[in-house]
Amino acid sequence: MEKYAVIVAGGSGSRMGTALPKQFLLIHNRPVLWYTLNAFLKSYWDLQIILVFPAGFSDRVKGICESTGFAERIQLVMGGNTRFHSVQNGLSLVPDSSVVFVHDAVRCLVSPALINRCYEEALLFGSAIPCIDSRDSVRIIRDKDYEAVKRTDIKLVQTPQTFLSGLLLPAYQTQFREDFTDDASVVEANNHQPVHLVAGEENNFKITNPLDLAIAGKLLQPPQDPFR
C-alpha cells in the first residue's frame, strides 16, 4: 500500500517563549523539523510526506525540505486554525488505499523503528497508536475530590498515530469538537470502536519548552549529511 506521513508543523509554539515557532528552532545547527522529516524519509524509500506549515514561513519550510535531499518526496500545505484543521488540510492530499501516519513535527526524536512498527501494526489492525506507561502517580479532579487512579491503567499517547486511509479519511469529514484531542479520538468517534495501541518510545517526547529542547540536543547526534 502507498505510505503517506502528514507532518503537522502548523503551530506557533507559544509555550516555548520564543518569537520563532519551536519546529524551526535549531539543534546542532539544524531545525527541529529537519530531524523529524529525516526520520520518516529514512524509514521507507517509497513514503511520501505532506508537511503542514504555518502561514508566513513558506520560504523557510522550502529551504528545510531542500536540505533533506529529498524535497521531491515532500508536499506542502498550509495549516489551519487548530491541529484538527491542519490535519484535515493535510489529509486532503492523501489518496485512498494507503497507510497514513499523522505526526507532530516537534517529536523530532521519533525513530524509523517506531515508524516501521506502527506501519506493520496498522496493516494488521487498521490503526496503531504508540503509547508509553506513566511513571508518575495520577489523580483525577472531580469537583472538590481528588480520585487516585492506578498508574498501570494510564497510557501516555504519542505520535505517529497510524491508520488505514479507509478509517482515517472518513473520520476527518466531521466537524471539529473540543474533545478531539488527537487523531485516535476523531477515528473512535466516527467508528465507535477502540483503536489499537502499540509500544511507543520514551525518547519520542514532544518539545514544548526550553528544557525539552536542551534534552533533545543531548540525545540527538550532530547530523553528518546522511543522504549525501
Q: What is the pLDDT of residue 145?
A: 84
Alpha carbon 166 to its chain centroid, in Å, reads: 19
3-state SS class at 73 = helix
> DSSP character for 126?
S
158 found inside a domain? yes
Q: Could you identify the residue written with the cell 484535515?
A: 88
User: Is-contact 165 99, C-beta < 8 A?
Assistant: yes
Residues 6+ apart with CB under 8 A from 150: none
**Under a CB-based contact definition with an 8 Å cutoff, are residues 149 and 138 in contact?**
yes
Judge whether 228 lies within some domain: no
Quote the number of domains for the chain: 1
Range of the domain at 56: 2-219
pLDDT tier for residue 177 given thresholds of 50, 70 and 90 = very high
For residue 198, being part of any structural domain is answered with yes
Q: Is the pLDDT of residue 228 over 50?
A: no
51: domain CATH number?
3.90.550.10
Residue 88 inside a domain? The answer is: yes
pLDDT digits (tens, 9 = 90+) for 61-91: 999 999 999 999 999 999 999 999 999 999 9
Within 10 Å of residue 154's Cβ, how many Cβ atoms? 14
For residue 28, the one-letter residue type is H
Domain assignment of residue 224, yes or no: no
Give the pLDDT confidence score for residue 17 in this predicted structure: 63
Q: Give the confidence band of 227 by pLDDT, cuts at 50, 70, 90.
A: very low
Confirm whether 202 is domain-assigned: yes
In a domain, 208, yes or no: yes
Residues 91/105, Cβ–Cβ less than 8 Å: no
What mean pLDDT comes out for the span 166-176?
96
Question: Do the domain assignments include residue 164?
Answer: yes
Kindly indicate the confidence band of residue 161, based on its pLDDT and cuts at 50, 70 and 90: very high
